[in-house]
């Protein structure tokens, strides 16, 4: 291959790695509610279904995109080293070619594979995931054989560090509370934050914790004695009192 072809291959791999990095960062930072809302407003049932699948397994789709990104970045480095060697006319890359190729590709990968994709994810994560929902789902299907290994590693680390097993509902609750904490700096006061947190934790309550036992109810039999009713209201200080007749 000529030096120009090696350079072209390095640039192509860098471009592909940059795109995959942007998708990986966007998947990691995406808000599930915002993504689903965006998908509903665009009136595209197929993309809406893809977005729901991505939101239901964020980690799996992130890992599926991250693996080909690594391959693209490694290809960029290898091609850059060979390109540097071909420019010097050496029969095989030496340490100078390796230093030049690795240094140049590392700076390029840092800029196009980290800085720019990170900015895209911070400002347009949901729009990016929606626009590329098809390729993201395709990568997830292709990389499915590696998914079992990734889940096994995740479970092994969780057990090793003694982390709790969280369900999807608990993950959504944690995400909501995290958003509330971040939004406090943008104008949500303490009362509003407390109300949203209480709603998020409502699912942890049982019926027994909420309902008042029948034996502890402040109730009053059905009577026509107005003075007795007024006296009861003053004693209990409740705004509503159950009234019963017979049993």
pLDDT band (50, 70, 90) for residue 170 = low
- pLDDT for the residue numbered 40: 85
Burial of 62 (0-12, 13-18, 19+ CB in 10 A): buried
CA–CA gap between residue 230 and residue 91 (Å, rounded): 104
Burial code (b: 16+ CB inside 10 Å, e: under 16) for 118-130 equals: bebbeeebbebbb
pLDDT band (50, 70, 90) for residue 194 = low
Residue the block writes with tokens 């192509």? 12
- pLDDT for the residue numbered 232: 75
Instruction: Provide the whole-model pTM.
Output: 0.66
- pLDDT for the residue numbered 94: 87
Burial code (b: 16+ CB inside 10 Å, e: under 16) for 10-40 equals: beebbebbbbbbbbbbbbbbbbbebbbebbe
* Over residues 20-38, mean pLDDT: 88
pLDDT per residue as tens digits for the range 74-119: 999 999 999 999 888 888 888 898 999 999 999 999 999 999 999 9
pLDDT band (50, 70, 90) for residue 19 = very high
Report the length, in residues, of the chain: 247
pLDDT per residue as tens digits for the range 110-128: 999 999 999 999 999 999 9
Q: Which residue has the higher pLDDT, 1 or 7?
A: 7
Distances (CA, A) of 87 to 9, 80, 83, 104, 132: 15, 11, 6, 14, 37
């Amino acid at each position: 291959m000529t030096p120009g072809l090696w350079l072209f291959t390095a640039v192509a791999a860098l471009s592909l790695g940059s795109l995959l990095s942007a998708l990986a960062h966007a998947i990691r930072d995406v808000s599930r509610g915002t993504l689903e809302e965006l998908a509903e407003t665009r009136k595209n049932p197929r993309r809406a279904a893809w977005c729901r699948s991505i939101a239901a397994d964020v980690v799996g789709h992130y890992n599926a995109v991250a693996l080909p990104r690594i391959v693209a970045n490694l290809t960029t480095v290898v091609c850059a080293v060979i390109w540097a060697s071909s420019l010097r006319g050496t029969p095989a890359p030496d340490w100078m070619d390796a230093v030049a190729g690795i240094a140049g590709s590392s700076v390029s990968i840092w800029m196009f594979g980290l800085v720019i994709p990170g900015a895209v994810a911070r400002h347009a994560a949901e729009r990016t995931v929606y626009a590329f929902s098809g390729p993201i789902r395709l990568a997830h299907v292709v990389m499915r054989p590696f998914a079992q290994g990734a889940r096994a590693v995740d479970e092994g680390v969780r057990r090793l560090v003694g982390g709790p097993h969280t369900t999807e509902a608990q993950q959504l609750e944690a995400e909501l509370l995290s958003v509330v904490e971040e939004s406090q700096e943008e104008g949500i006061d303490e009362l509003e934050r407390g109300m949203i947190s209480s709603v998020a934790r409502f699912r942890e309550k049982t019926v027994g914790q909420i309902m008042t036992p029948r034996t502890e109810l402040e109730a009053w039999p059905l009577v026509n004695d107005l003075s007795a009713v007024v006296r009861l209201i003053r004693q209990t200080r409740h705004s509503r009192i159950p009234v019963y007749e017979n049993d």
